[in-house]
């Protein structure tokens, strides 16, 4: 099997290939990003995508229960006995009521892919199952990530649950920056026993430091520059298809941080189309927070495109130079996407090309309002996830997405990840105790005297 799987630089001008077991954080020749690549002609692939549905019936078998490994023929980089799973990806495509969301879409046309239902509460588990498979196969004991929170929560969980083939436990090391980190996520990393290093610098600085430390100490890097993470995250799209009876929607809407999902989704559809397993590729809408909008600025304001792999590197270097010169740092309530230098930028451009994508930016106020609306439909999520609905509303109002489209928003993380953001919205308390302006869907506790009449009056008549 191994000869049919390799790593390949995504730059068509380079296309260097490497052995699948090489541990690299980029192309050794040109420094670009690498993909996990397959020689599909030599691999057994199913004749029709509905093949995977039959595995639903085999839920007693861990690999068929996993929402990642149920699709193992589509990420065939390891042998079955090597696969790491803890039952990730048990997530479903939900159909919220577009009227209660006050959304100008035809009824039944909206889906929420609810990735908050993963074991650690975010979609990151999809990628970790794949990346831990590779780490274990390579015998790497020390695993590390720089994180805005969910990557560390997920990595810490898998590190505590995975043993090397020789029985030794793995050890997780988390780098968190001085930026905001939601307490739900930090608490997970601590509880699962990962060593947590608080680096005096933002996420982007952490990312630089961790690459240096992994070179020096041989840490296995679990950030989404690890191409195996993205193989696992491709399966989010397979489950969307499964939820729609294998008929692709018109649009996928996803928040964009380090752009791992954006990259994985495009690769998923590129491969499905190449294998003849889907007839149509959905369009992609990537949503940045206004305070962390590098992709949006480069794509919309500077016209940056994949351009067959000849994307304008100088434009990006100049953009970052200007950003650093002006001392601009990412800043948003949606901490999971508070990233100014997305590591998967090049792969994301490729995805936008494959999926005929668009990019937009939304304000923190819009994110919080949509989060409250999503909460009211019963699908609680964290702020970054709600950026998808805020983006959808904007794209509907601009006519980019029309009301007859079938749209799937990816709800990336669970509401309990960031209770502070929720409580702050509903109760109007900002950090430091200062009062905030009232919010549209604010739902504060009502103070009431310890008295039956007062309680009945407060509840009122229905």
Ligand X SMILES: *Cc1c(COP(=O)(O)O)cnc(C)c1O
For ligand X, which residue has the nearest CB? 413
Cα–Cα distances in angstroms (integers) from residue 18 to residues 37, 343, 457, in the given order: 10, 20, 72
Q: Name the residue nearer to ligand X (CB basis): 256 or 357.
A: 256
**Distance in Å, CB of 333 to ligand X, minimum:** 12
Binding positions for ligand X, 230-269, rule CB under 6 A: 255-262
The reply to whether 122 sits near ligand X by the rule CB under 6 A is: yes
Instruction: From 31, 338, 80, 20, select the one nearest 204 (Cα to Cα).
Output: 338
The single residue among 413, 415, 421, 425 that binds ligand X, judged by CB under 6 A, is 413
Q: Binders of ligand X: how many residues, by CB under 6 A? A: 19
Rounded distance, CA 262 to CA 255, Å? 8
On whether the CB atoms of residues 412 and 336 are closer than 8 A, the answer is yes
The single residue among 25, 70, 109, 124 that binds ligand X, judged by CB under 6 A, is 124
Q: Name the residue nearer to ligand X (CB basis): 204 or 382.
A: 382
**Distance in Å, CB of 342 to ligand X, minimum:** 7
Q: Where are the beta strands (DSSP E) in 256-341?
A: 283-289
Binding positions for ligand X, 127-156, rule CB under 6 A: 150
**Distance in Å, CB of 48 to ligand X, minimum:** 29
Q: Name the residue nearer to ligand X (CB basis): 66 or 262.
A: 262
The single residue among 162, 235, 405, 412 that binds ligand X, judged by CB under 6 A, is 412
On whether the CB atoms of residues 449 and 457 are closer than 8 A, the answer is no
**Distance in Å, CB of 59 to ligand X, minimum:** 27
Q: Name the residue nearer to ligand X (CB basis): 340 or 384.
A: 384
Instruction: From 442, 375, 450, 422, select the one nearest 458 (Cα to Cα).
Output: 450
**Distance in Å, CB of 390 to ligand X, minimum:** 13
Q: Name the residue nearer to ligand X (CB basis): 109 or 116.
A: 116
CB proximity list for 219: less than 8 A, separation 6 or greater = 142, 143, 144, 173, 210, 213
Pair of tokens at residue 274: 């190449």
Rounded distance, CA 10 to CA 34, Å? 6
Rounded distance, CA 249 to CA 268, Å? 14
Q: Name the residue nearer to ligand X (CB basis): 74 or 292.
A: 292
Q: Name the residue nearer to ligand X (CB basis): 277 or 411.
A: 411
**Distance in Å, CB of 461 to ligand X, minimum:** 40
Binding mask 365-404 for ligand X (x = CB under 6 A): -----------------x-xx-------------------
The neighbour count for residue 278, using CB atoms within 10 Å, is 19
Q: Name the residue nearer to ligand X (CB basis): 66 or 122.
A: 122
**Distance in Å, CB of 162 to ligand X, minimum:** 20
Where residue 428 falls (left for φ over 0; alpha for ψ -120 to 50; beta otherwise) is left
**Distance in Å, CB of 229 to ligand X, minimum:** 9
**Distance in Å, CB of 410 to ligand X, minimum:** 8
Q: Name the residue nearer to ligand X (CB basis): 137 or 344.
A: 344
- First-residue to last-residue Cα distance in the chain: 65
**Distance in Å, CB of 27 to ligand X, minimum:** 20
On whether the CB atoms of residues 373 and 291 are closer than 8 A, the answer is no
**Distance in Å, CB of 403 to ligand X, minimum:** 26
Binding positions for ligand X, 288-347, rule CB under 6 A: 336-337
Q: Name the residue nearer to ligand X (CB basis): 49 or 75.
A: 75
Burial of 194 (0-12, 13-18, 19+ CB in 10 A): buried
Instruction: From 435, 423, 332, select the one nearest 380 (Cα to Cα).
Output: 423
Q: 3-state class of 343 per DSSP?
A: coil
Helix (H) or strand (E) holding 314: helix 313-325
Q: Name the residue nearer to ligand X (CB basis): 67 or 109.
A: 67
CB proximity list for 387: less than 8 A, separation 6 or greater = 255, 287, 288, 289, 334, 337, 362, 367, 370
Rounded distance, CA 115 to CA 264, Å? 15
The reply to whether 118 sits near ligand X by the rule CB under 6 A is: no
Pair of tokens at residue 106: 């035809």
Interface contacts to ligand X, rule CB under 6 A: 122, 124, 150, 224, 255-262, 336-337, 382, 384-385, 412-413
């Amino acid at each position: 099997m191994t000869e049919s799987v390799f790593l390949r630089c995504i730059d068509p001008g380079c296309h260097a290939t490497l052995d699948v077991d090489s541990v690299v954080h980029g192309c050794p020749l040109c420094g670009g990003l690498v993909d996990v690549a397959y020689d599909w002609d030599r691999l057994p692939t199913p004749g029709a995508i509905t093949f995977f549905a039959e595995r639903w019936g085999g839920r007693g078998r861990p690999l068929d229960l996993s929402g990642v490994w149920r699709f193992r023929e589509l990420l065939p980089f390891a042998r079955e006995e090597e696969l790491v799973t803890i039952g990730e990806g048990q997530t479903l495509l939900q159909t919220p009521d577009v009227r209660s969301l006050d959304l100008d879409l035809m009824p039944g046309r909206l889906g929420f892919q609810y990735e908050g239902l993963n074991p650690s509460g975010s979609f990151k588990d999809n990628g970790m199952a794949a990346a831990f498979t590779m780490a274990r196969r390579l015998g790497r004991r020390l695993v590390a990530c720089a994180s805005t929170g969910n990557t560390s929560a997920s990595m810490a969980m898998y590190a505590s649950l995975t043993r090397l083939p020789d029985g030794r436990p793995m050890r997780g090391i988390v780098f968190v920056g001085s930026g905001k980190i939601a307490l739900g996520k930090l608490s997970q990393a601590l509880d699962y026993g990962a060593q947590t290093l608080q680096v005096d610098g933002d996420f982007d600085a952490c990312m630089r430091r961790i690459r240096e430390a992994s070179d020096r100490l041989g840490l296995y890097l679990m950030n989404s520059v690890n191409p195996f993470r993205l193989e696992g995250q491709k399966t989010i799209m397979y489950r969307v298809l499964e939820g729609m009876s294998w008929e692709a929607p018109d649009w996928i809407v996803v928040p964009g941080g380090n752009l791992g999902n954006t990259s994985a989704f495009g690769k998923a559809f590129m491969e499905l189309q190449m294998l003849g397993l889907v007839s149509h590729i959905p369009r992609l809408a990537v949503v940045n927070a206004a305070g962390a909008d590098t992709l949006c600025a480069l794509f919309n304001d500077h016209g940056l495109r994949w351009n067959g792999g000849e994307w304008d590197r100088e434009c990006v270097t100049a953009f970052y130079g200007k950003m650093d010169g002006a001392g601009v740092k990412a800043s948003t309530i949606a901490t999971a996407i508070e990233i100014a230098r997305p590591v998967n930028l090049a792969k994301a451009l490729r995805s936008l090309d494959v999926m005929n994508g668009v990019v937009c930016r939304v304000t923190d106020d819009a994110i919080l309002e949509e989060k409250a609306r999503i909460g009211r439909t019963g699908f609680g999520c964290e702020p970054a996830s709600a950026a998808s609905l805020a983006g959808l509303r904007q794209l509907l109002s601009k006519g980019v997405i029309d009301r007859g489209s079938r749209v799937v928003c990816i709800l990336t993380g669970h509401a309990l990840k960031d209770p502070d953001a929720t409580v702050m919205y509903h109760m109007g308390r900002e950090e430091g105790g200062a009062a905030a302006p009232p919010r549209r869907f604010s739902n504060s506790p009502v103070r009431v005297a310890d008295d039956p009449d007062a309680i009945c009056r407060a509840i009122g008549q229905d």
